[in-house]
Amino acid sequence: MKVWLSWGRRRRFLWVTGAFVMLWVVTQGFVRLIASSEQELTAEGRELFIHEWTPDDPLSGDGDGLGPVFNANSCVACHSQGGAGGAGENKHNVRAFSVLPNRNDSNIYGGVVHANATVEHLLETDEQVLGQYPIIPGGVTVIGNCQVRLEDFNPVEFEELNTPALFGVGLIDEISDWSIRQNAWGQSLTALGKEFQGNFDATMGKVRVLPDGRIGKFGWKAQFATVEEFVATACAVEVGLSNSYRQQDQPGQFKADEQAEYDMTSYQLDGLTTFCLTLERPELVMPRNSKEHTAVVRGRQVFTEIGCAECHTPDLGGVKGLYSDLCLHNISDPDHNGYVREPEVPMPSNMPELADWKTPPLWGVADSAPYMHDGSSPTLEDAIENHGGDAKHSRKQYLEGINDKNRKNLIAFLKALRAPEAVAAAN
């Protein structure tokens, strides 16, 4: 039986149908437009990442381009191992310094002694830093009813910082503060349980809480909460490109030049950030050879058994294979006299101690030598042996608690954690 619609109903039916068709076309077109725009932004960001900046660079608008003080003339100059976005060799280490709180000034300062300058007379030196923050002479003071002799105190601490890899940072950027806190609480509960059993070797990470209450996830001191902040600061400090988040450093003053014109537009900064956010994640590449495959499987078990996974958490906040808790840990041993350098005035509770460093993600570790925050360990074996402090129990297990075969299995597992380019080649 045929059902005939009145002309009015047919007209409404056709109008509604047409509206749905138009909505579908517009929506699909909008989605494609957004995808196309993001692809273009990422491509432009990649060009900026590999671009070699020059003084008065054509891309820097009203700014002065490269410098005037800088560490490298491009992002890829330092971030290159395993492809654009990777870790860097020791020749690209950054000379950083911290000024510790003391009896004359309880504030904390920090900065970078740049390796290069656009003109020679602007080159920076350690002596300039020490001149700004000189040694505080000792003397005698009265505390309570006692006379106390104070030693001379040098408030400046220099550090060499190795370039970290950026692969997979987009996934890390999405890990919630709650996930990091929850994992740290789990570490604390586990440590408490072990202490009740007389085992005081458990590990507890320190969550870096920034002044605005967010959790730090990027940088060796976990000093940045987002990739955007990390990228913007790196542009300003490492390459000398002022932007809306951070202006370039004033030569020899070790602070931002508030008068500097922007070298980057917001669009350029967005593009560079988007490129970094879309860098592929490293992967575990399993060998095809059955013997080597077995060694990697066993090595992953050893990794957990000797306590490495306590800090190098395999999965965090839904990101699998990260191998980091994104917390701060002290893995340094005291010096040969049994002393650890401490500031005159205690560090604020929300600031890292001198020996606190963020646990670096181990994904891609096979393609990111040298190791440790200062690049002082050329090999994986050496890096493990240089783990003290919070990780001394794992080091002891590695050196004394397992046999040579399992040590080799552990290294085989770590060498299977490859950067994206190596993953693509293996596939």
Residue 150: pLDDT band (50, 70, 90) is confident
pTM score over 0.75? yes
15-19, 53-57, 192-196 — most confident range: 53-57
Range among 88-97, 134-143, 202-211 rated most confident: 88-97
Q: Would you state the CATH architecture of domain 283-426? A: Orthogonal Bundle (1.10)
What is the pLDDT confidence band of residue 31, given thresholds at 50, 70 and 90? very low
Please return the burial class of 21, using the count of CB atoms within 10 Å of its CB with bins 0-12, 13-18 and 19+.
exposed
* pLDDT (tens digit per residue) in 110-135: 999 999 999 999 999 999 999 999 99
List, in order, residues 6 or more apart from 212 with CB less than 8 Å away. Answer: none
407 has a pLDDT exceeding 50? yes
User: Does residue 26 register a pLDDT over 60?
Assistant: no
Residue 109, pLDDT above cutoff 70: yes
Q: Give yes or no for a contact between 377 and 391, defined as CB atoms under 8 angstroms apart.
A: no
The one-character DSSP state at 398 is I
C-alpha–C-alpha distance, residues 383 and 395, integer Å: 10
In the chain, the amino acid numbered 43 is: A
pLDDT digits (tens, 9 = 90+) for 383-405: 999 999 999 999 999 999 999 99
Alpha-helical runs (H) found in 77-176: 126-132, 169-173
| Cβ–Cβ under 8 Å, residues 328 and 206 | yes
Q: In the chain, where are the structural domains located?
A: 44-163+231-272, 283-426
Whether 98 shows a pLDDT value over 60: the answer reads: yes
* 275 pLDDT higher than 90: yes
Main-chain dihedrals φ then ψ at residue 77, nearest 5 degrees? -60, -35
